[in-house]
Amino acid sequence: SQLIPQWFSDVRLEGKTAIVTGANVGIGKETAKDLAGRGKELISAGARVILACRDMARGEQAARDIMRELKGAKVVARHLDLADTKSICLFAENIYNNEKTLHFLINNAGVAMCPYATTVDGYEMQFGVNHLGHFFLTFLLLDLLKHSAPSRVINLSSLAHNMGKIQFDDLSGDRAYHPVRAYAQSKLANVLFTSELAKRTEGVMAYSVDPGMVNTEITRHLGRPLVAITKTIGFLLKTPAEGAYTSIYCTVTPESQLLTGGYYKSFVTFGPCFLGARIVMACRDLERAEEARTDIMEDTGNENVVIRKLDLSDTKSIRAFAEIINKEEKQVNILINNAGVMMCPYSKTTDGFEMQLGVNHLGNKTKCTGSERFIVIVKSITDNSLKASVSWLYPGHFLLTYLLLDLIKRSAPARIVVVASVAHTWTGLRLDDINSERSYDTMKAYGQSKLANVMFARSLAKQYRVSVFSLHPGVVQSDLWRHQHQCIQVAVKIFRIFTKTTLEGAQTTIYCAVESGLESQSGGYFSDCAPARCSRAASDDETAQKLWEISCNLLGITWQ
């Protein structure tokens, strides 16, 4: 546990009421102790905490332990057997009879990888306890949670949900039971339940969490060899107190910094659960887009992925795409300007613009992300770097942003992310030959288009007060090198060890799209998931304004 980063919050919870299931030991007990101690100076009574436990002797002992350690703590134990719906009903009845409010329901209890068994009501034990028990408990207490709004439901899931698949034709595991598969299914059910609860309920925020690898009693059903290994590497695992961090984080962090329906892990690393995201893939090559769509659905389990035609070298196509988005989508929360062309031979777009300036700056397209409240438009998803960003949270330019800006502003808080390049430092803007008709150099034309990206992000952030970021993804192994001389392509392959994979190249894009607290740095330029210094030319506000006016004139638009 020496390797686990520490986390602290001084949020106070006096006057609040919390229920923590499975709170007699481990993560649940540590969560309850933290909430109970969030009073003045974090040493006096905080929230009133109800320990919902199957073993009342251990539950009452846990309550005494917490109250002995925290002066004035308000902690009580109540009987709850999640494997018995009658017990759940009696527990809920007791809560309604004795509690006026309920602000936090932390569904922490669980069983892991146990031999086949069934609940009192005949359900497979892991699915019955980990999912159905908490599902029913939340249902019964939902009116009290709504009455106490704003309130929260935190469901403890696990990284194992990634391995899970809901066996709708064999939920009881009668046909083929495997303890690991059953556990993964129950943890996936936790994530899905959280996502649906967030969609269906007003005033009650819902979060699913992965506590990490924690040294607790939940490993008791593992075979002896695995138990022995767990004990041997115990020093590398989280302690129960550290495992409680993410649950506590989702309990006390201001709602404005969290995403209801979201999936959280490591308390500071946040990713909205991909299973709730709607992705609109905007692509020129529909055949490759379909291949990418299939990859995304297989990798993430998200079937809410659609394809829309978009040719960034044709303003008619861009306008048609934007018209569809404005008509069909209720909101666009993150617009990621990723598509581009790099150092190609001289050519022009359908509208007569130099290809790199026309695609990379004037007509590039975007992406936005989220869970059912969020719409994800993915530009050039056939590029592997965008595939990578979409599978984690789900990932042009001037004209498309102009056409979608009203929708983006209505979806606030929203972000626009512009993928530029360090190549913006290679040159300045040639305002007297912006279309490169007098002379054309592939590298300078590319550098000019990337410089335009950075300037556009800065100007947009200043003029419209939306959160906008430009970034350098790094030197990435992608199809962008296809127009280079064969010698350069060979060199790139030889030195690929020093370049980024598409997954690594997507990280700064993802960071700018989802990292909390970046609003104050709107208009900034980022590299390697951190603020970076752009070129002096990119910081020239007077030239940026001229570029803005020229861009509007070329496209025949007027920004209001």
> What are the angstrom distances between the C-alpha of 477 and each of 233, 288, 381, 445?
37, 18, 15, 21
CB-based burial, 145-156: b 16+ in 10 Å, e otherwise: beebeebbbbbb
Instruction: Map residue 171 onto helix, strand or coil.
Output: coil
Q: Which of 183, 207, 249, 394 is catalytic?
A: 183
What 319-326 contacts at long range (C-beta under 8 Å, 24+ apart), as own/partner pairs, is 319/399, 319/403, 321/282, 321/365, 321/400, 322/400, 322/403, 322/404, 323/403, 325/280, 325/377, 325/404, 325/407, 326/403, 326/404, 326/406, 326/407
Nearest to 51 by CA among 84, 17, 83, 85: 17
**Is the Cβ–Cβ distance between 457 and 470 less than 8 Å?**
yes
DSSP designation for 475: S
Instruction: Map residue 209 onto helix, strand or coil.
Output: strand
Task: Based on the residue annotation, tell me whether 183 is a catalytic residue of this protein.
Answer: yes
Token pair 């208009």 is found at 523
Amino acid (one-letter) located at 72: G
Alpha-helical regions (H) of 173-309: 179-200, 224-232, 240-243, 245-252, 286-300
Instruction: Map residue 532 onto helix, strand or coil.
Output: strand
Chain mean position to CA 482: 32
Largest CA distance in the chain: 86
Nearest to 502 by CA among 473, 481, 525: 473
Amino acid (one-letter) located at 292: A
DSSP states of 212-224: -SB-SGGGGGS-H
DSSP designation for 260: T
Instruction: Report the C-alpha gap between 486 and 492 in whole angstroms.
Output: 10
> What are the angstrom distances between the C-alpha of 150 and each of 41, 201, 533, 546?
24, 11, 41, 48
Instruction: Report the C-alpha gap between 332 and 308 in whole angstroms.
Output: 15
Consecutive H or E run containing 453: helix 442-464
Nearest to 404 by CA among 310, 286, 512: 310
CB atoms within 10 A of CB 501: 15
Residues known to be catalytic: 183
